[in-house]
Amino acid sequence: MKKIFFLFIAVLLCQLSFAQENKRPLTWDDIQKWNRISQTTISDDGNIIAYQLRPWKGDNILKIKTKNGKEKISVIGGENPLITKNSDFVIYTIKPLADTLRALKLKKTKKEEMPVNELGIYNIKTGNEDRIACLKSYKTAEEPGTWIAYQTEPAKEKEKGKEKTKENPGEEKKEKKESNKNGFTLTIRNLEIGLELTRPFVTQYYFSEEEKTLVFVTTGNDEDTPAGIYCINLGSNEQNNVLESKGEFKQITLNKDGSKLAFLLDTCTKKKSANNYALYLWNGKHEAIEILNNNNDFLPEGWIISEDGRLNFTDKKNRLFFGIAPKPLEKDSTILDEEIPGVDVWHYKEPILQTVQIINRNKDLKKTYEAVYHIDEQKAVKIGGTEFTGIDLLDEGNADFAFGVNNVPYALQTMWDNYPSYYDFYLIDIKTGQSKIFKKECPSETFSSPEGNFIYWYNPLDSTLHTYNVNTKKEYTIASPENIQLANEMTDVPMPAYPYGQIGWMKDDKALLVYDRFDIWKLDPENKKTPLNLTQNGRANNISYRVLSFNKRKDWRTEGINEKEELYLHGHNEISRGDGYYKISLKKSGEPKKLIAGEYMLTNRPQKAKKSETVIFSIEDFERFPDLIASDLNFKNPTQISDANPQQKEFIWGTAELYTWASLDGKILYGTLHKPENFDPNKKYPMIVNFYEKNSQRLYSHHIPENHRSTIDYHYYTSNGYIVFNPDVYYKTGYPGEDAFNCVMPGITALIKEGFINEKAIGAQGHSWGGYQVAYLATRTNLFAAIESGAPVVNMLSAYGGIRWNTGLNRAFQYEHTQSRIGKNIWESPLRYIENSPIFTLDKINTPILIMHNDHDGYVPWWQGIEFFIGLRRLGKPAWLLNYNNADHWPQKHKNKYDFQLRMQQFFDHYLKCKPMPKWMQEGIPAVKKGYEMGYELEE
């Protein structure tokens, strides 16, 4: 028997050895085929799970499976699945195949002749799939029920003989055709019984939230449907003529059950400089009536009802909210556009910088202010205006007050102190529109409780949490550092710390739940009870507990938490780096009950079926892809649903481990160390150091193989014989470059002493802040054989006064208070800016540098990369600059990411593995050869 056993073991070991030998390294083409999982959804009864497999290049595949993992259907090109409430149908769109589109593009096919999406409807009971071709649009209720409405592109027909009218035999009749202006045929289908209704020339259509009504706008036909807006009762299929009228319908809004309808209508069809919309209301009977127009007295002089203002019914009070705005500016018609100078006038006292104003210009031109129509009183009230920069409708507009904020008096200060931001707070009477300030210069944004009884805010200056009772007009301090540490304990930037955050409110505004670093606390909104630690053991066990919200739409800041509910938690152990799921009762505090936990990472957004205890989640680590798993709420008896990347077993993979060492000043540090799976401690390996702030807490994250936009792919490099080291960096104020040196270099030295690192083949790579860090290190050490620095700031003096073009904000705050951590402005401490800037010590660099910086970078001015390159070029240092045209902070297009990864790999392979230099590194690519030659060829 023993002989048989040992024979079995020998055979098994041979098989494993053979399998290992037959594995191959990853290539960039292999990675393009790697799948991600997205658009996951579960049926209400928990029996059906739909998800999408998305390769980096190629066709998406929609999978529809049972909770036991059995496949019902696989749809190439399928996306955006919706499962109906009765769990009987899955609705999705189907994109044309990628190869088909590519072939047609090569043939220079016209855009209007290219294939378009299809609509797919899969019947779960019968297994039948219905496809509707030439899909233009489709809609369902917010939670899909038994109805769907859709429009298709009209068939392209050859021109037919033209018909002459009876009245004028010599005159040709112009047939009305479907178009974006005229509308398209709308099909309304009941999925259960197969009933179909059609309506002609529809331009807009919407379901009520509860799927009782469908409203549509039509330009009408010459037979039985005049132009106007109509409602269909989906229970009786009866159609109501809401209003027969031509014109522009905007902001069409139904209440939840579809019994009320509101919309804006401009009936003037002549071209004019300003729109003139009136507000209409329909109560389910008779015809809609005009309730307000621009001549009403409630409007300030020069104001109008805005077409951009969202309409909204309240569900407890009979109110309708809408938007108003100052009348748009009109250009002088006596001046030609070509005569108007193109100039921006910057003023030193403007509260908002011109660049920010320009970026926000289109949004500001459409900015609206709140107004309410009290339906029972037939009275309109203006509740918001330019005196407020924001309005919060307490209890979703059902309360007697609204909450207004204004930060204009403090806006100029945010140019250099962007956190905290200061505000003045107001209460606004919904019935009269009168407002009253109740707090000035508060250093915080605010939130409101679900029932609208409290306004609450966090003060970052003293780490306290405050509430304001709207009814009693009293303010309370409900948490302070003496009892709860709400401020982020790990903050290492020279500004007040952000809070860990709020979870939400209990029902009836009875209590507020908040986080500290580890635990969950229950706070009395009027500080009548001592704060209660619900989880108790988080800090003691170094487990950070965070609430799992299974329902994606649920927001406990607007919906109260029922005290009878059990809260499910995600717990992260800061020592082991592993995750777990737990649950607690809200009725009393206690140690959370562990459901599942281990040395892996768990998704923090599992999904639960609404009408069953089936839940889908994922487990991952560096080697394990986060495939979908189904289980019950105890996370027992799991069933794997997806197998997204079975090809992984064909490739040499890698491992991840926690590595520890001491900084130059004696602090114990951690990082992640990634080795090839066939690692041999007796070999010498090339190593790439890649880091950005702190990442060791993500030891068990999977890092899906990808042609990344800004960083090396760990799986590619471990698969191809590299070791990757990612060290945590801790910062003090004033010297971020020195802090990186202090943390990173001892880690590298410790690894060299391990004996398996080739100390002459160590590279470094970083992007943005990481790009700056590796550029700085290049000025301090010659240890690195090659460095890739992406979008780096190398001259803090020239960057300090610049603009972050994506937002229009001045860059000063970043250097003084946030990531750059200088802590002072350039007049207070110019030497800090010089000492931390690599540009001033480029002559010390002896490491070949590859720079990637793009000409449309909205975060780091791309001339920083140019300064870096030009300086190295001037000094005769080996350097290359990659600029992806019209790309932002990093390349987004797949073709550019693929190119970047390939060139970076060739760069590192040359300097760390002694492989031949590619042609683009040897000779460059002259501008005249751009687009004709890639220069990937290796030069022997």
- Token pair belonging to 6: 């040992």
Whole-number pLDDT of residue 272: 57
Spatial distance between the Cα atoms of 727 and 690, rounded to a whole number of angstroms: 8
Pairing of strands 601-602, 312-313: unpaired
- 792 and 864 Cβ atoms separated by less than 8 Å: yes
Residue with tokens 């952000």: 498
Spatial distance between the Cα atoms of 624 and 162, rounded to a whole number of angstroms: 66
- Token pair belonging to 863: 């001339």
Pairing of strands 757-767, 685-690: parallel
Q: DSSP of 774-821, one letter per residue?
A: HHHHHHH-S--SEEEEES----HHHHHT-EETTTTEESHHHHHTSTT-
Spatial distance between the Cα atoms of 208 and 695, rounded to a whole number of angstroms: 46
Spatial distance between the Cα atoms of 392 and 404, rounded to a whole number of angstroms: 6
C-alpha torsion sign, points 906, 910, 916, 918: positive
Nearest to 261 by CA among 237, 281, 245: 281
- Three-state SS string across 100-150, please? HHHHHHHCCCCHHHCCCCEEEEEECCCCCEEEECCEEEEECCCCCCCEEEE
| Residue count of the chain | 940
- pTM, to two decimals: 0.92
Series of mean pLDDT values for 10-residue runs along the chain (940 residues): 42 46 92 96 97 97 97 97 96 96 93 93 96 96 95 72 52 80 96 95 96 96 89 94 94 95 87 79 91 94 94 95 93 88 89 88 92 96 91 94 93 82 95 95 92 96 96 97 95 94 94 97 96 96 94 67 91 98 92 97 94 96 97 94 97 97 96 97 97 96 94 97 98 96 98 98 98 98 98 96 88 91 94 97 98 96 96 97 96 96 98 97 94 89
Amino acid at the residue 632: D
Tens digits of per-residue pLDDT, 442-490?
Answer: 999 899 999 999 999 999 999 999 999 999 999 999 999 999 999 999 9
> With left for phi above 0 and alpha for psi between -120 and 50, is residue 876 left, alpha or beta?
left
> With left for phi above 0 and alpha for psi between -120 and 50, is residue 864 left, alpha or beta?
alpha
Spatial distance between the Cα atoms of 656 and 42, rounded to a whole number of angstroms: 33
Pairing of strands 786-790, 757-767: parallel
Residue with tokens 């959370």: 592
Spatial distance between the Cα atoms of 204 and 249, rounded to a whole number of angstroms: 9
Q: How many CA atoms within 13 Å lie on the side-chain side of 27?
A: 3
Spatial distance between the Cα atoms of 614 and 635, rounded to a whole number of angstroms: 9
- 132 and 118 Cβ atoms separated by less than 8 Å: yes
> With left for phi above 0 and alpha for psi between -120 and 50, is residue 238 left, alpha or beta?
beta
Residue 927: CB atoms within 10 A of its CB come to 7
Alpha helices in 222-341 (DSSP H): none
CA distances in angstroms from 153 to 118, 195, 742, listed in the order given = 11, 21, 64
Spatial distance between the Cα atoms of 896 and 708, rounded to a whole number of angstroms: 10
- Three-state SS string across 265-277, please? EECCCCCCCCCCC
Whole-number pLDDT of residue 268: 79
- 462 and 447 Cβ atoms separated by less than 8 Å: no
Residue 683: CB atoms within 10 A of its CB come to 13
- Token pair belonging to 836: 């931390």
In degrees and rounded to multiples of 5, residue 23 shows phi and psi of -75, 150
Spatial distance between the Cα atoms of 79 and 923, rounded to a whole number of angstroms: 45
C-alpha torsion sign, points 842, 847, 848, 852: negative
| Angle at CA of residue 393, ends 392 and 399, nearest 5° | 140
Spatial distance between the Cα atoms of 742 and 673, rounded to a whole number of angstroms: 18
- 781 and 907 Cβ atoms separated by less than 8 Å: no
DSSP three-state, residue 773 = helix
Spatial distance between the Cα atoms of 394 and 846, rounded to a whole number of angstroms: 62
Nearest to 721 by CA among 18, 31, 30, 25: 25
Residue 268: CB atoms within 10 A of its CB come to 11
Spatial distance between the Cα atoms of 486 and 858, rounded to a whole number of angstroms: 33
**Secondary structure letter of residue 344 according to DSSP:** -
Pairing of strands 723-727, 685-690: parallel
Q: DSSP of 176-203, one letter per residue?
A: ---BTTTBEEEEEEETTT--EEEEEEEE
Spatial distance between the Cα atoms of 353 and 708, rounded to a whole number of angstroms: 34
Nearest to 240 by CA among 279, 194, 288: 288
Whole-number pLDDT of residue 186: 97
Which residues does residue 90 pair with via DSSP β-bridges, in sequence order? 83, 122
- 212 and 258 Cβ atoms separated by less than 8 Å: yes
Q: How many CA atoms within 13 Å lie on the side-chain side of 803?
A: 13
Whole-number pLDDT of residue 9: 41
Spatial distance between the Cα atoms of 53 and 75, rounded to a whole number of angstroms: 10
Residue 331: CB atoms within 10 A of its CB come to 9
Residue 841: CB atoms within 10 A of its CB come to 15
Tens digits of per-residue pLDDT, 893-913?
Answer: 999 999 999 999 999 999 999
Q: How many CA atoms within 13 Å lie on the side-chain side of 780?
A: 18
Whole-number pLDDT of residue 4: 44
Nearest to 712 by CA among 842, 850, 869, 914: 850
- Token pair belonging to 715: 């799986």
- Three-state SS string across 693-756, please? CCCHHHCCCCCCCCCCCCCCCHHHHHHCCCEEEEECCCCCCCCHHHHHHHHHHHHHHHHHHHCC
Torsion of CA 547, 552, 556, 557, to 10 degrees: 120
3-state helix, strand, coil in the chain (%, to 5): 20, 35, 45
Longest dimension (CA), the chain: 105
